[in-house]
Each structure stands twice: as C-alpha cells, then as structure tokens.
Amino acid sequence: MKVRATFGALRLLMAAACLMALVSRFLWGLGSATFTPGNFFAYLTIQSSILFLVVTVIAAVVALRGQDDAAWLDLVRVTVLSLTLSCGIIFALIIEQSGERGFRIDVPWSDVVLHFVLPAVAVLDWIIGPGRGTSPWRSIAIVLVFMIGWGLVTLARGPIVGWYPYFFLDPAQLANAGQFFFFASIAVVLFGGISAALVAVSRTIPLAERAVFRPSRTERARSARIRPARRR
C-alpha cells in the first residue's frame, strides 16, 4: 500500500511538472512572430502532453487508492506514453537536423521537460510502477491512427494558415515527394515500434511488485494465467 501511495504521489508530481512546462512553453512562445494559440495547440507534442497530464492524474488517483489499473486505463496509458515518447525522439532528431539545414532551434527548459524528462520518468514508471496490467496489442493501431490523422489534418491546415509545425511536413522545405514519404515512413516505424515495445513491457510483472512481494515461481505462473482473464 505504501509503495502504491509513493507512486501515486510521484505521478502527481509528474502531472504538476507537465502543467508548469505547458504554461511556461505557451508564455515563452508569445515572443515568437509566428506564434498563435492555434499553432501552439497544433503541435503533436503539446496535444500528447495535455493527454499525458490528464492520464497521469487519473493513474495517480488510482495508485493512491491502492487499486490496480482498470483495463481501459492500461490501454490509455500505453497509448499516450507511446505518443509522448515518440514525440521526444522525433524532437531530438529535428534538433539534430536543424544544424544541417541551417536554421536555429531554441530549446527552453519547458521543451526539455516535455520532450525528454517526463517521457523518461514515465517509462520508468511503466516498467516499475505497481498495479499495471497487460495492455492490448490494438493500442499500436490506435497510436498509428492518431498519428496519421494528426498528420492529415496538419497537411490540410498548413496551406490555409501558411504554417507547419515541423519541417518535414512543409513542402517548401522538402526537395520532393519522395523525401516526404521517407520521413513519414520513419515516423510510422518509430511510433509503431515504440508502442509495440511498451505493450511488450506490460507483459512483464512490474518491478515494484517483484521487489515487494517476491512471488514464487508457482505464484508467477498462477498470476500469468489469472491476470489476463481479469482483462477480458
């Protein structure tokens, strides 16, 4: 019970850090000539971070109550974490590419928190935190549908507002259609691969439960048989 309460408190701290970073990033963006609220909320990172904030608060409350995650919460958590972690990796690649393309990207502390710190801590929580159940493989499809849907909306919105959130979506910054499909393929593989890895992790017993309860081989076998049945 104390272990779950500890993780519940840590999740509330993660949610608080996410909220402060989102507010700070919004205020920081006000100094940009291209900044508008519509453009700010068009970033996939911002959308996934808002979802992360909501889901983390729910997961914190569940942990503080000493309850296991419900099946729907396992599904939502792994889906949102897949989006958040993938966005962080893509942002790192964009920073790396910016130097080669001759443009500067400023990275305030809020971006560091949203893209790198929170995803890393959340992955550790996913691996270690008690109460996690088995996530369904269909979460991979949900992640890809969300990502592709976001991309289509962004491509349709771009010519209307004259702005794209990322260079690989802007036709003016790409040499040809082949380059666009190259970057799009990388994104699909990355999002799908990360989602699959996180679902695979959910097939293991959380490290906190192993450390506290130290189940015997017989108990682990019984848990493997019974727990999926609770999810159906």
Give the Cα-Cα-Cα angle 144, 96, 27 (nearest 5 degrees). 75
For residue range 97-117, list pLDDT tens digits in order: 776 666 677 789 999 999 999
pLDDT, position 174: 85
d(CA 214, CA 210): 5
pLDDT band at 228 (very low <50, low <70, confident <90, very high): very low
Amino acid 34: pLDDT: 73
169-196 pLDDT tens trace: 988 888 888 989 999 999 999 999 999 9
pLDDT value at 39 more than 70: yes
Distance CA 148, CA 104 (A): 27
219 versus 64: the higher-pLDDT residue is 64
Query: So what's the pLDDT on residue 209?
Result: 86
Q: Does the pLDDT value for residue 212 go beyond 70?
A: no
**Distinct helix (H) and strand (E) counts, the chain:** 10, 0
**pLDDT tens digits, residue range 54-80?**
999 999 999 999 999 999 999 999 999
pLDDT value for 150: 96
9 or 210, which is more confident: 9
Residues 6+ apart with CB under 8 A from 120: none
Question: What is the percentage of the chain residues whose pLDDT exceeds 90?
Answer: 69
Cα distance between residue 101 and residue 22, in whole Å: 28
Q: Which of 62, 84, 64 is nearest to 72 (CA)?
A: 62
Question: What's the pTM value of the predicted model, to 2 decimals?
Answer: 0.87
129 pLDDT more than 60? yes
Question: Which pLDDT belongs to residue 95?
Answer: 82
Residue predicted with more confidence, 223 or 131: 131
